[in-house]
């Protein structure tokens, strides 16, 4: 894990210590998700929306922090090649066909919006597009935060009247949780490996639960379903966690996860 906590550490006690250096994005504080949704909350939105209760993701990050009782540490430097090796996708034809028939058109139509939000959020547009698809199938009148219709007031009092506002919220959640749980800095300019991308989306959906239960994000269907032939017909990790946002051990019913979406959008992931 990297040195330095998430700003606004009161939102995730134990993960952060005030005054340390961290990525530009803020920490989340959002409502609990349903089985098909993920919340998000960030400091940019807090000026225009009421404060919300901690999400399951934020709560699980706290549980993780309570166990280690120290800020995340930067891992020891590993020798790296001058140029990272590019990942070569092994996505099965059936998954590719499902993407083309279901997701390609709505994602490409919304690409200018994703790019505009990404330009000032620090999160690459392909990750925002993947969140939009996974949460609400990139429907124009729906929010990717909870998967709810735009303008609807959620149980926590939050409401997102525009798609861009909701996407900014997701960007905050992605960046803050990726940093708090896995020490991944989305504000950096480098492209992420497939494994790091899987970690980012695992943190977005389940916070620190996978780390707490020693489970790899490469087994997390929301991240990697459909990535290769071995990632078909996946199930949610069967962990003993009553507060998991999705039913542990239950079947994952989507044909592909977030990482395949990112790869389909020509994100140059590394090995």
What confidence tens digit (pLDDT) does each residue in 206-245 have?
999 999 999 999 999 999 999 999 999 999 999 999 889 9
Name the β-bridge partners of 16: 13
Average pLDDT rounded to a whole number, residues 87-111:
97
Under a CB-based contact definition with an 8 Å cutoff, are residues 137 and 159 in contact? no
Distance (Å, whole) CA 221 – CA 53:
27
pLDDT at 15 over 80: no
In this prediction the pTM is: 0.74
Average pLDDT rounded to a whole number, residues 149-153:
95
Whole-number pLDDT of residue 84: 78
Under a CB-based contact definition with an 8 Å cutoff, are residues 95 and 260 in contact? yes
pLDDT at 37 over 90: no
pLDDT at 71 over 70: no
What confidence tens digit (pLDDT) does each residue in 169-213 have?
999 999 999 999 999 999 887 899 999 999 999 999 999 999 999
Whole-number pLDDT of residue 189: 79
Under a CB-based contact definition with an 8 Å cutoff, are residues 123 and 186 in contact? yes
Whole-number pLDDT of residue 154: 86
Q: Quick one: what percent of the chain has pLDDT higher than 70?
A: 70
Whole-number pLDDT of residue 31: 36
């Amino acid at each position: 894990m990297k040195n330095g906590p998430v700003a606004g550490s009161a939102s995730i006690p134990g993960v952060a210590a005030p005054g340390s250096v961290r990525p530009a994005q803020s920490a989340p504080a959002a409502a609990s998700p349903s089985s098909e949704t993920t919340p998000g909350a960030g400091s940019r939105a807090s000026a225009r929306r009421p404060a919300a209760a901690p999400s399951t993701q934020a709560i699980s990050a706290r549980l993780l922090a309570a166990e280690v009782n120290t800020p995340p540490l930067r891992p020891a430097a590993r020798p790296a090649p001058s140029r990272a090796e590019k990942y070569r996708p092994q996505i099965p034809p059936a998954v590719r066909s499902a993407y083309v028939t279901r997701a390609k058109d709505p994602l490409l139509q919304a690409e200018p919006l994703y790019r505009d939000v990404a330009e000032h959020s620090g999160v690459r547009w392909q990750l925002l597009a993947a969140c939009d698809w996974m949460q609400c199938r990139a429907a124009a009148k729906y929010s990717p935060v909870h998967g709810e219709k735009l303008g609807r007031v959620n149980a926590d009092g939050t409401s997102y009247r525009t798609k861009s506002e909701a996407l900014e919220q997701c960007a905050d959640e992605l960046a803050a949780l990726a940093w708090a749980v896995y020490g991944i800095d989305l504000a950096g300019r480098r492209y992420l490996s497939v494994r790091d991308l899987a970690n980012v989306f695992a943190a977005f959906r389940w916070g620190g639960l996978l780390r707490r239960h020693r489970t790899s994000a490469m087994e997390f269907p929301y991240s990697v379903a459909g990535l290769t032939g071995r990632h078909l017909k996946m199930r949610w990790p069967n962990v003993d966690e009553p507060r998991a946002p999705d039913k542990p051990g239950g079947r994952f019913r989507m044909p592909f996860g977030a990482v395949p979406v990112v790869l389909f959008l020509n994100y140059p992931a590394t090995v």
